[in-house]
Amino acid sequence: MRMSFKIKKVGCALALLPLFSYAQAQKDQPNIVLILADDMGWGDINANVNPVIETPVLNQLAKQSMELRQFYACPLSAPTRAEMLTGRYFLRTGVSSVTQGYENLDPNETTIAEILKNHGYATGCFGKWHNGAYFRNHPNRQGFDEFFGFLMGHLGYYYDAIYRHNDEDVATKGYSTDFFTQTAIGFIEQNKAKPFFCYIPYNVPHSPFQVPEKYFNKYKSKGLDNELASVYGMVENMDTNIGLVLTKLEQLNLRKNTIVIFLSDNGPNTVRYNGNMKGKKGSVDEGGIRVPFYISWPGVIQPGVNDQLAQDIDLLPTLVKLCSISEKHSLPVDGMDLSGIIMKKSKPQNRYIFSRQGHYPLNKASGSVRDNRYRLVVSAKDTLLFDLENDPSQKVNIANQPAVKSRLVGEYLKWEKEMLAVYRPQTTIEAGFAEEKAITLPVQDAILSGAVKYSSIHPNQSHTENWIRNGDSIFWKLDMQQPGNYKLQIQYGCAAADIGSRFLFRSSLTSLQFKMDKVFDSVVLPDRDYVVRSESVERTWSWMDAGNVSLGKGGETLVLKLAEKKSGDAGLIKAIRLTKI
């Protein structure tokens, strides 16, 4: 179901026309606290018949909330976030995967934060963004007054990390979930006198599996393996932190006029209890995309359970209605306004829930569609049909029912054709804006050549190594909005035995040679993993000045090339930074 909202653009602002709604009955527009877990499954809550994990805060929130029992996200993180923020299917927003530019949200999309900000809300995001790290993709340019967190797909180390506070890097202390909670609470305290939208996208229980020792030991003592003890420990720590947020709302006398929402971005990241559903993160089966969803507004939303089929694209139109905002959106919204159902003013409606893997290339991605009874799963290998009413674990393929199969195949193919026709990936790095002071280019967004390789199978948070062959290079493709002169710096590590290799940096206007002539022993941070990681290890890094360069307007290819190796390995390289002169 697609809806249109009326937004009138006046310059770069939005003219918003108030309309009678539930919020006006409360006299004040409600605050919103939106809490998102990362890689947490439906079954990772004690209230969902999991006897091992302890989640007292979420259990209580569930009792105080309208629970949408059949709520769906995308199979992977960045697509879910794009859908949730815009109310539009992820392929419409330019997002199709989780790294190397395929996670970048089209800056021309309108986010819920932009809408709320233009309606007088203070807006803040604290945690994992994962919808683009460059200037126009940044949360500050996507409607958030304040951002404190990390921009990439995952965090390499959960203690004493360096985060972005708006446009600046800040060294912090403490465990990530604890830190994001405290910054969110600070935002709530600062904006208690006006409506606020506080978005808290936690980074747990995503790997690497790092968790405060007391939580890990608690679940190890129950006989769990290290992986599950870490996951459940991370979730319980998050549960405790959510309790701190809710307590602060009570202390400030804000809870009665605050909508609190909790959900996860996809299914569980490991094989574990998930309500006997088939699949996990990355899958388009029930277990990969069905997630917990609670929405609470004391005195306004009556607690209960509703079986309305719902999904992440519904958040924007639902919140817009609950907050008394009427607008015409310049881009059609795919989500369904669930406010009437949540408020028990209307009955559940029949609809289709479409899902597709966030993979690239797209022709290798599986998809699915479900209605109130059936789920059809389409892949390059086969087409499967399941009767979820009688077979919720998807054990029996009933694709021999031609009428049902034909109907669902037709609906899915029609939807997929439309999505692929409008998909435009946002992989070219836009830079060189007048207000942009510095351009940081991580190697994960570079194209590698020769023997140079990433430090992990996952480009996210990786560095490059194996600089052992003259002529090998990495390069970035940019779309520069205007030409400029910049100071070039390299984020690197180089042992004393390897010092002295010569590199070449080249743009359309500059060819610059420099030597890796300063020793910096890049050391791996202390091992706090309870499970051997697949991600890159996290190390210490330093920045080295390489010289001044000029970049032209329009298409630019920036090349970093090993011109002459001194010995062994020329060094480790994490990123380059171009600071406007």
Average pLDDT over residues 299-320: 97
Given a contact cutoff of 8 angstroms between Cβ atoms, the answer to whether 512 and 488 are in contact is yes
Tokens representing 250?
Answer: 């009570």
Q: How confident is the model at residue 25 (pLDDT cuts 50, 70, 90)?
A: very low
For residue 338, what pLDDT is reported?
A: 98
Tokens representing 349?
Answer: 């409606």
Could you tell me which of 313, 258, 369, 278 has the C-alpha nearest to residue 31? 258
Share of the chain above pLDDT 70, in %: 95
Specify the 3-state DSSP secondary structure of 577. Answer: strand
For residue 5, what pLDDT is reported?
A: 34
For residue 358, what pLDDT is reported?
A: 80
Is the bond preceding 361 in cis, omega lying within 30 degrees of 0? yes
For residue 362, what pLDDT is reported?
A: 82
Given a contact cutoff of 8 angstroms between Cβ atoms, the answer to whether 509 and 551 are in contact is yes
pLDDT of 109 over the 70 cut: yes
**Extents of the domains making up the chain:** 17-290+300-346, 356-422, 429-580
For residue 57, how many other CB atoms are within 10 A of its CB?
Answer: 20
**CATH class (in words) of the domain with range 17-290+300-346:** alpha beta
Helix axes 315-322, 77-86, angle to 10 degrees: 30
pLDDT of 21 over the 60 cut: no
Contacts of 243 (CB under 8 A, 6+ apart): 56, 57
For residue 313, what pLDDT is reported?
A: 98
Separation between Cα atoms, residue 132 and residue 90, nearest integer Å: 14
Span 158-174, pLDDT tens digits = 999 999 999 999 999 99
Q: What CATH number does the domain located at 356-422 have? A: 3.30.1120.10
pLDDT of 17 over the 80 cut: no
Span 351-393, pLDDT tens digits = 999 999 987 778 889 999 999 999 999 998 999 999 999 999 9
Is the bond preceding 392 in cis, omega lying within 30 degrees of 0? no
Average pLDDT over residues 18-27: 40
∠ CA 49-50-51 to the nearest 5 degrees? 105
Could you tell me which of 294, 341, 351, 247 has the C-alpha nearest to residue 22? 341
Is the full-model pTM beyond 0.85? yes
User: Cα-atom radius of gyration of the chain, to the nearest Å?
Assistant: 24
Which of 27-41, 199-213, 350-364, 515-529 comes out lowest in average pLDDT? 350-364
Span 77-98, pLDDT tens digits = 999 999 999 999 999 999 999 9
Name the burial class of residue 330, with classes exposed (0-12), middle (13-18) and buried (19+) by CB atoms within 10 angstroms of its CB.
Answer: middle
For residue 330, what pLDDT is reported?
A: 82
Q: Quick one: CA dihedral 310, 316, 321, 327, positive or negative?
A: negative
Span 560-569, pLDDT tens digits = 999 999 988 9
Could you tell me which of 201, 149, 141 has the C-alpha nearest to residue 430? 141
For residue 364, what pLDDT is reported?
A: 84
Separation between Cα atoms, residue 476 and residue 557, nearest integer Å: 6
Residue 570: half-sphere exposure toward Cβ, Cα within 13 Å: 27
Given a contact cutoff of 8 angstroms between Cβ atoms, the answer to whether 365 and 378 are in contact is no
Share of the chain above pLDDT 90, in %: 91
DSSP annotation of 538 reads: P
Please give the C-alpha separations between residue 290 and each of 73, 345, 478, 496, in angstroms, as whole numbers. Answer: 6, 25, 37, 52
∠ CA 91-335-373 to the nearest 5 degrees? 95
Which of 62-71, 212-221, 322-331 comes out lowest in average pLDDT? 322-331
pLDDT of 416 over the 70 cut: yes
Residue 112: half-sphere exposure toward Cβ, Cα within 13 Å: 31
For residue 26, what pLDDT is reported?
A: 38
Span 282-304, pLDDT tens digits = 999 999 999 999 999 999 999 99
Average pLDDT over residues 54-79: 98
For residue 1, what pLDDT is reported?
A: 37
Separation between Cα atoms, residue 257 and residue 419, nearest integer Å: 38
Span 184-238, pLDDT tens digits = 999 999 999 999 999 999 999 999 999 999 999 999 999 999 999 999 999 999 9
Residue by residue, DSSP assigns 467-536 as --STT-EEEEEEEESS-EEEEEEEEEEB-GGGTT-EEEEE-SS-EEEEE--S-B---BPP---SS--SSP
Give the type of residue at 68: L
CATH topology of domain 429-580: Jelly Rolls (2.60.120)
Residue 385: half-sphere exposure toward Cβ, Cα within 13 Å: 16
Could you tell me which of 569, 309, 560 has the C-alpha nearest to residue 441? 560
pLDDT of 558 over the 50 cut: yes
Residue 299: half-sphere exposure toward Cβ, Cα within 13 Å: 9
Separation between Cα atoms, residue 64 and residue 42, nearest integer Å: 18
Q: What is the 3-class SS of 174-213, one letter each residue?
A: CEHHHHHHHHHHHHHHHCCCCCEEEEEECCCCCCCCCCCH
Average pLDDT over residues 262-272: 98
CATH fold match for the domains 356-422 and 429-580: no
